Amino acid sequence: MKLFSRLIPKSMTGQMIAILTLALTLLLATFTILEFLKNDTAIETAQKSDTLDRLKRIKPILENIEAEQLENFFTFTSSCHEGYTLTDKPFDFHGTTEETNQLEMRIAQELPLDESLILVGQARLTQDNFSYKLCSPSEIDLPMDGIVISIKLRSGKWFNTEVHPHEWHVQYIIDWIMWSGSAFFIIGGTAIFFMRRLSKPLNNLTNATQSFGRGLNVSEVEESGPPDVKRAIESFNAMQKQVADEITKRTNTLAAISHDVRTPLTALRIKAELIDDLDIREDLISSINKMEKITTSALEFLRGESRTEPMRNVDLSALVESECLDFSELGQKATFIGKQNIHYTCRPDALARAIRNLIENALKYAGSARVDLQLGTDFVSISISDDGPGIPHDKIICALEPFERLSKARESNQGGFGLGLTVAKAISEGHDGELILTANKPTGLIATIQLPKVGQF
C-alpha cells in the first residue's frame, strides 16, 4: 500500500496527467479487446472499404499490363492474405447469395465496370488455392469458406482474388498498434500540454503562498489563467500586501512605543536610586525592572513572529548543543542527549531563540532540562523535557497564547510574562513545523519542536 501511495503524483498537474493517461489506456485496451472479439464473416470482410480500395489500386495495372506479364506480377505481389490468379475461366464458385449479388453491383459502380464482367460468389478455399501455400499453419485455418471476386479482362482472361474471414494477422496487429498508439500519444500529448498551461497559474499561486507563509515575502503573482483562477490570484496579491503592511505597521508601532517607554524608565531608575528609604527604593526599582521585562518580552514576541532572517544550512546538532552549553556554563543543568551531525536548512538565530526559550522554561519550573535531537522518517524533532509541574492537558492550547500564565508556579515572579511558548510556537510554524506539548510521566512537560524533514540532508 505504501508503494502504491508513493507512485501517486503529489501535484495537481501530475494527478490530472495520471488520470488522463489511465483513462486513455483503459479506452485503448477496451477498443483492442472489442476488436479482438469481433469476428467478421467472409462476406462482411468483402463488403468493407479495404476490399474495394484494393481493387481500385490494382485496376490500372490490369488495364495496362499484358496478360503474359500479369502472371509474373501476381506471383510477385501475392501473399498469404492477398492472393491473385489469372485463369481462362471464372473461379469455380459453389454458390451465390443476395449479399454477393449486391457486392457485384457495388464493385461495378465503384470501379466502374460493366456488371456482366464481374462475378462474386462463395467458395471453399484450400491450401492449393491462390497463394495459401505461403501461409504457415499458425496463420490461417484451411480449408475454409471465403468469397472470390472474378473480373473479366479485355484479353478474355479472368482476374481472381479472394477474401477470407477477418482474422488477427501479424501485420494487422502491427497496424492497429501503430494507429491506436499514434492517436493515444497525439491526444494525450495535446491534453497534457493544455493541462500544464492551465495549471501553471495555480502552481505560481502555490509557490507564492508558500513563500509568503515561510517568510512573509511579498511576491506579485501574474494574473493569468481561467477567470476564477485570475480572481483568486488577484485576491491573494491584495491580501499579502495588506497583511505585510499591517505587520510592518504593528512592528514599527510597538518598537517605537518600546523605545519611548525605555527613556522615561531609565530616568525613573536613576531617580529611584536617589531615594533614601530602602524599602521604597527596592519596590520602585522592582516595578521598573518588571516594566522593562514586559517591553523586552513584547519585542522578543515580535522577533519570534518575524521571518525576515534568511534561511541557511547549519549543523543543527551543534546549534542545539551550544545552547545547552551556554546554560551549563552558568551553572544550570541543561543536558544535550541528541544525535550528532544532523544538518538542517533553517533560520538559525530564530530557531536558537525558540530552543533557548524552552530550555529557560524547563529551568525555571523544574531546575533542569534534557534536550534531545532526533531524526525521524518525516520529521526532525527537538525535545526539551523536565520534571516540573507540567501543564494540564486541557490547558495546553491556552498555554500557547500570548501573555498566558496558568498556575502559581508560572506567575511573573518566576521572571516570565507568558510569551516564551508563544515565541517558540511562532518560530516553529515559520519553519513549516509545529510546537507540540505533551506530559512527561510521572510529572513534567515535554516541549517538542517538530520540523519537516525537507530541510534536512
pLDDT digits (tens, 9 = 90+) for 386-427: 998 888 888 878 877 766 666 544 444 455 556 778 888 888
How high is the pLDDT of residue 49? Answer: 82
pLDDT for 297 equals 63
The predicted pLDDT at position 335 comes to 92
Spatial strand order of the sheet with 379-385 comes to 333-336, 368-375, 379-385, 445-452, 434-439
Residues of the chain below pLDDT 70: 1-13, 35-39, 138, 166-174, 176, 213-217, 254-255, 257-259, 293-294, 296-308, 402-418, 454-457
C-alpha to C-alpha distance for 151 and 107, rounded to whole angstroms: 10
Give this prediction's pTM. Answer: 0.49
Question: Which helix or strand (DSSP H or E) is residue 29 part of?
Answer: helix 12-37
Domains and CATH numbers, the chain: 42-165 (no CATH), 216-308 (1.10.287), 312-455 (3.30.565.10)
134: Cβ contacts below 8 Å, ≥ 6 apart: 78, 79, 80
C-alpha distances (whole Å) from 166 to each of 122, 125, 213, 376 are 15, 14, 64, 62
Residue with cell 456482366: 116
Residues 192, 196, 202, 206, CA torsion sign: positive
Give me the pLDDT at residue 412, please.
45
Nearest to 194 by CA among 20, 387, 66, 429: 20
How many C-beta neighbours within 10 Å does residue 119 have? 20
